[in-house]
Chain A
Amino acid sequence: MSSHNHDIQASHKILQLIERSKRESDSFLDTIPGIFAVINAEGDILRGNTSLADYMEVDQERLLYKNLNSVFQKEEWELFKLEIDALDSKEKGFVDFELSMTSPKGASSPHLWYLSIFDEEKTGERMFTVVGKDISDLKEAQQNLIEIFSSVPLGILTIGEGGAIQGEFSKYLEVIMGTNDIHEKKIQDFMFSEFKEITKQNQESLDGLVDAIGQNKLIYEIISEGLPKKVKIDTVGEVKWLRINYQSISYNDIVRKILLIVEDITSLVKAEELKKQNSLLEEKSVARIVQLKKVDPETFRLLFDEFNELFQKLKKAEESVYLGGVKNYLHGIKGCARVAGLDFLAELTHECESNVKENEDLISKNSDGATLTNLIFPVIEEWNELNDLSRALFQSSGTENEPSGNEKKIEDSFKGLFDQYNQLLVDEKDLHVNLMIRKVLIGMESLTKDALSSLEKFVTDTVESTCASLDKQVDLHLDWDGIYADRSTIKILKDCLLHLITNSIDHGIETSEERKLSGKTDQGNIYILVTNDISNLKVKFWDDGAGVNIERVRNIAIDKNLVTLEKGNSLNDNEVIQLIFTEGLSSAETISMTSGRGVGLSAVKEEIENLNGTIFATNYDNTLRVDVDIPLGIDQNEEKGLVDYNEFMDDFALEIKNLNSSSRGIDIEIDTALQVSSKESTFFAMKEMLLFALIELIDVYAENSKETLFISEQNSMISMRVKVSNTKNIEKYILDTCSLYLSKHSGKYQIIDNVLCIDFGFLNKKVKE
């Protein structure tokens, strides 16, 4: 072969390689994923790959001079052509855009297009490279994400350089922020400026957050520590609480974007606040219950009506914007609360008093009822709460005037029995049987009576609590042993003592320092002596305090229009002192933590007078003394027991005689003075009972000895001495049978050296004319 032929072969070989290389390159273009085409200005396909041919459902060789518009809807093709036209104006030489393609079967799929100018200089003709990527999956994923975004109740957004909100954000963000104008907004204006009540550190971190974009992520890490995680915003007039999570999106350690996840936690915050409020309310309720539990139920029942009365008067004064009344009644409520041990109510009322005083001018000038109402509302509300609680706590006791259900049944049963026995008493003529019936009646009657000593705890507690609140020291002296009274009387007495004690400690007895200066003992003293005669319970109450300041009381009464000026100046000292029982009089001129009650004593006086009793105050030896007489009522038995004195002694002597002659071997001697007593005609109360008691006492308990039973009478009091063998049984006997009698008649007994001495007290009752 000639060299010429060798050259030819070599060239042929090269050509083959080039051809193959070209073929591979073309094949590469043909098989690239997505659509590739070169089109002319009219859209004719000059070169297209297999993907395009597949989409157009033609053989790839048939693509030539098919028009690309066949894969677009008419309107879409117009948009495509616009993009082609716009290519010239693009500095970067290409455009990218989204536009859907439509297959011959009508199926539309979103595509991302990339258009560029194809080497016009070399080709001499305007041609374009077209690359299209099916983004159906991406769109579906995006749509799914959007759906998730829409459904998840979170505001999800990203911010990029400059703090602009970029890309997609969750639909719920619009709900949170109350606007749909979000895209491309600056986060500083859109959200951060809405944050309320954030700290300085939070604000500085927010300011630095946007600057952190484009910086190393370490800078973001440092800033993120100070970012607010829980903020309050006020959008479209609605206050919301948001919880915000921040997350940087970094590439190569450089923060490109920041993701914010915003959660509306308003309902959670409100629930927490409500829970907190409820806890506080519960604590308050618990505190109230604890306080109420500490309160003596009797005390509270006693004060209950007074509280109610005071609050009713307070409300009326409030309605009529009567400031004087409001202040008085608040003062009274505070006092009651203090006595009852309701510290919270007392403090609240004190605070209310201060507020009313501060706003006094405003309320007076403008007759501003609304302000007054608002000021006293907390006290009223507190009382309402206490009222409800107290009813629940003290429910079984009922009101102070009405016994509980069980007690009522017992009382009704008793009354029935009483009536039966009383009828028997009338019918029974036999002395001994009569005495036995009386004994039963006395026993029954004793069940409805209480000893006055049952009030001891109450008065002691009252003194203690009042002293504690006023920082005073007072000793209490009680003398009421053996005194009994029915429950209604005891209730009245309780009420009376309560007010007397508190007034005494508050206004009468001085502080320790004041007492020292006056040469008195540090501790003040209160004395309560209770006695009774046949018809009255007599209470003497006095203290060793400063007594009543006559002129001060007079002036206060005049200032408060309780008496006219003329009348006030005309009253004598005793008359002035009686003014302390007038409603509205309180010597407390300034509002302080002491209690000054202007309604208590007047109410007590009213109660006592309603029972035909009396209450009288005097300045006795420069101290206040109050005398109270409470009628006991006439006992039926006493009615029946009224006998003549001389008749009694005749009967008594006869009984003694019978005893002396009995096998008991007792020699009883009666004071002859008794026998010859010729008193004016008087009546014995319960003659038979006394006789029975005496006879039985002698019969059962007198020693078998010839000891003289000495019965004497002095100052209308009969006493008896008898030597007894069993002192224990004697006491029991006396308690069972004679205690009622003794209590009614100021009688008493004592046992000394086995000798019983009974002083039967007042036996006389003057006949009513």
Chain B
Amino acid sequence: MTEVENVLIQIARDASVKRLESHSGIGDLESIDMESGYNRKVHANWMSIILVSGLDVRITFKLYFNCIDVKEVVQKSMGTAVDDVTNEFTMDFIKEFCNLTAGMIQKNLATQGFHVGISLLMVTRGFDDIFYEPSSSGEVSDLWKIKIAGVSIICSATLNVINAKNLELLTLNDVAEEEDDGEIDFL
């Protein structure tokens, strides 16, 4: 993994953690690497997928989750009973989280002069991930886990660096929450 790719991965990781924390309102969370030797093809029952794409880079951000687990987070976030948290509500929670994460990545890159757009979000079965084919041989992926409220949400970022030279000056730019104006530019 190149330096640029490393930075990009860090940006994605950072965004996922910060957004989940702010979205859930649960401060006690951490991002950890997957276990050594982890080689599963299907990471969870559900998968949320969103694309952040510009002239120089494409980032596919995926969230892998089980509703049954996310309900714990939602319940804690909302302060309601677990039984009151429906699958639909859980799905919405994740979708929002995914969107926010993609937005933060976009913001981060934008502040460093790299303009990217965000695709529409789609939630599908985690099993469908086995049909994913890399678009090019230069793709790089990272898989991490966010542990929150005793459950884990697996995230992945797949990078396709189109113009690495342009991105040489890219750094992990710590985007403050308040700088996030909530607007999202769609692709």
Seen from chain A, the residues whose Cβ lies within 8 Å of a Cβ on chain B are 5, 8, 11-12, 15, 18-19, 22, 26, 38, 40, 46-47, 59-62, 64-65, 122-123, 125, 127
Contact = CB atoms under 8 A, between A and B. Distances in A.
Given A60-B45, A61-B68, A62-B68, 7 more contacts: A8-B187, A15-B122, A38-B127, A59-B68, A64-B126, A123-B130, A127-B130
Interface in B114-132: 120-127, 130-131
B130 A8 contact: no
Contacts of A11: 120
B131 A123 contact: yes
B127 A46 contact: yes
A123 B123 CA distance: 20
Given A46-B41, A64-B45, A19 B123 contact: yes
B101 interface: no
B40 interface: yes
Contacts of B124: 19, 22
B111 to A, nearest CB: 22
B92 to A, nearest CB: 13
B125 A26 contact: yes
B186 interface: yes
Contact of A61 (B41, B67, B131, B187): B67
B41 to A, nearest CB: 6
A125 B127 contact: no
Contact of B125 (A40, A47, A62, A122): A47
Contacts of A122: 131
Given A123-B130, A123-B131, A125-B130, A61 B123 contact: no
Interface in B89-147: 120-127, 130-131
A70 B145 CA distance: 28
B127 A19 contact: no
Interface residues on B, range: 20 to 34
A454 B45 CA distance: 126
Contact of B66 (A8, A15, A61): A61
B44 interface: yes
Contacts of A46: 41-42, 127, 130
A107 B68 CA distance: 28
B39 to A, nearest CB: 10
11 contacts: A8-B187, A11-B120, A18-B122, A22-B125, A38-B127, A60-B45, A61-B44, A62-B68, A122-B131, A123-B130, A127-B130
Contact of A47 (B121, B127, B187): B127
Interface of A is mostly: helix
Contacts of B126: 64
Contacts of A19: 122-124
A12 B122 CA distance: 9
Given A64-B45, A125-B41, A8 B120 contact: yes
Closest A-B pairs by Cβ, 8 of them:
A61-B66, A8-B186, A61-B45, A47-B127, A61-B68, A123-B130, A15-B120, A46-B42
Nearest to B41: A125
B41 A64 contact: no
A64 B131 contact: no
B44 A64 contact: yes
* Main DSSP-derived SS at the B contact region: mixed
Contacts of B186: 5, 8
A11 to B, nearest CB: 6
A412 B98 CA distance: 140
A5 B183 CA distance: 13
Contacts of B121: 15
A19 B92 CA distance: 13
B112 to A, nearest CB: 24
A59 B67 CA distance: 11
Nearest to A11: B120
A286 to B, nearest CB: 93
Contacts of B120: 8, 11-12, 15
A64 B124 CA distance: 15
Interface string B17-42: 00000000000000000000000111
Given A122-B131, A123-B130, A64 B123 contact: no
A576 B40 CA distance: 134
A122 B128 CA distance: 11
A8 B121 CA distance: 11
A11 B118 CA distance: 13
A40 B39 CA distance: 13
Contacts of A40: 41
A61 B41 CA distance: 15
A65 B124 CA distance: 18
B42 A64 contact: yes
A374 to B, nearest CB: 92
A7 to B, nearest CB: 9
Nearest to A38: B127
Contacts of B66: 61-62, 64
A682 to B, nearest CB: 153
A22 B43 CA distance: 19
Contacts of A125: 41, 130
Contacts of B68: 59, 61-62
Interface string B52-68: 00000000000000111
A26 B87 CA distance: 15
A64 B68 CA distance: 13
A123 B41 CA distance: 9
Contacts of A127: 130
Contacts of A47: 42, 125, 127
A63 to B, nearest CB: 8
Nearest to A122: B131
Which of A26, A46, A61 gathers most chain B CB within 10 Å? A61
B65 to A, nearest CB: 9
A59 B69 CA distance: 11
Nearest to B65: A61
Nearest to A22: B124
Nearest to A63: B45
Which of A47, A62, A122 has the largest number of chain B CB atoms within 10 A? A47
A49 to B, nearest CB: 12
A576 to B, nearest CB: 130
A569 to B, nearest CB: 132
A18 B69 CA distance: 25
Contacts of B42: 46-47, 64-65
A2 to B, nearest CB: 11
A11 B67 CA distance: 26
A61 B44 CA distance: 8
A125 B66 CA distance: 23
Nearest to A30: B125
Contacts of A5: 186
Contacts of B125: 22, 26, 47
A27 to B, nearest CB: 11
B34 to A, nearest CB: 14
B63 to A, nearest CB: 15
A62 B67 CA distance: 10
A123 B124 CA distance: 17
Contacts of A59: 68
Contacts of B187: 8
Contacts of B41: 40, 46, 123, 125
